[in-house]
A and B are shown apart, each in its own frame.
Chain A
């Protein structure tokens, strides 16, 4: 191969630089976020945990469109009969009473910035 004396070391350096984040962070196991669970008297969320994890935002949008536009019910009931309010501010945050310890843990970890709190009020944190 023509010029292999330079090409192969250059390729190796390039590969090393490209994979720098991988080997530099190896060994440091990053902890997945642990959002705070609500107080023990609240036993059940409105949907199964896995579904809430992946698509709570879709559900919130559905609630919004149904209540605001179709005049849908403000209260809901889970399959097990737990009544809840279909509302972020008055429903979700009723049990998950700390935005910082619940919402923000995952949102910061995944670097998403939802604009819920531009208008909706987070529950007053115990200072």
Chain B
């Protein structure tokens, strides 16, 4: 067999390229396969909840009946939260900024869509706020790490880092995030400021950032309850505490009652529970 130098170099070159390229190609393909098989393993126990993460995790139980009994409670909660956190009111539903709000049952729980629902549920006001998910889609979507999950389960935001891309708003399945289309420090046509009475202890936001409920981390840090929970007073309409502490009030309420969550099928594992 005759082999001149030119042919030898050609073969050697091709072999070198294949040798360098093959491992990375294999790695890429095998990794994809591994992820798929891991997902299959996770899905194997259908209906079984994944193990809850350990450590402190703040959570809340909302007793819907108590809000029906006290019809002025939803407004009181919203007012307490929004005044403490300098949430602006732009007076236009399209620009609305909301950290906590009351919505109709069928809007908050679109999964509960069967025909033979209890008539009383129709249009019942349900308090909604950020669910502080254990697997938060907004955090995955944020390109700047402006929103993140803290060790105690609170999904917090660093407004310094927010670039206003609104990916998190698209990612959040609960509509818990609002965008500042206008300057919150501004005034409307009649000269009324958007923030009626500014709380000097808390910052405002600026135009072009997304904002949301922060589970009152600034209050938890100094040993206070969240503003909305405090506003419900002794009615027990909202119970707040450490979900992973079996002796906390919230754990006791959760053990004693059947609770539902918003859109559980999405696998976000919210920290909010509702007693209907």
Contacts and interface: CB of A to CB of B under 8 A. Distances in A.
A64 B203 CA distance: 13
Interface in A107-124: 115, 118-121, 123-124
Contact of A119 (B148, B203, B221): B203
A56 interface: no
A120 B159 CA distance: 11
Interface residues of B, number: 20
Given A74-B222, A121-B198, A68 B158 contact: yes
Contacts of B150: 69-71
Contact of B206 (A67, A90, A118): A118
Interface string B195-211: 00010111111100000
Contacts of A64: 158, 160
A105 interface: no
Contact of A121 (B151, B200, B206, B221): B200
A93 to B, nearest CB: 9
Return the 10 tightest CB-CB contacts between A and B, nearest first.
Answer: A118-B206, A119-B203, A120-B203, A68-B158, A119-B206, A74-B221, A121-B200, A119-B204, A71-B150, A119-B205
26 contacts: A64-B160, A65-B158, A67-B221, A68-B156, A68-B158, A69-B148, A69-B156, A69-B158, A70-B150, A70-B151, A71-B150, A71-B152, A71-B217, A74-B218, A74-B221, A74-B222, A89-B203, A118-B206, A119-B159, A119-B203, A119-B205, A121-B198, A121-B203, A121-B204, A123-B200, A124-B200
Given A64-B158, A71-B152, 17 more contacts: A65-B158, A67-B221, A69-B150, A69-B158, A70-B150, A70-B151, A71-B217, A74-B218, A74-B221, A89-B200, A89-B202, A119-B203, A120-B203, A121-B200, A121-B203, A123-B200, A124-B200
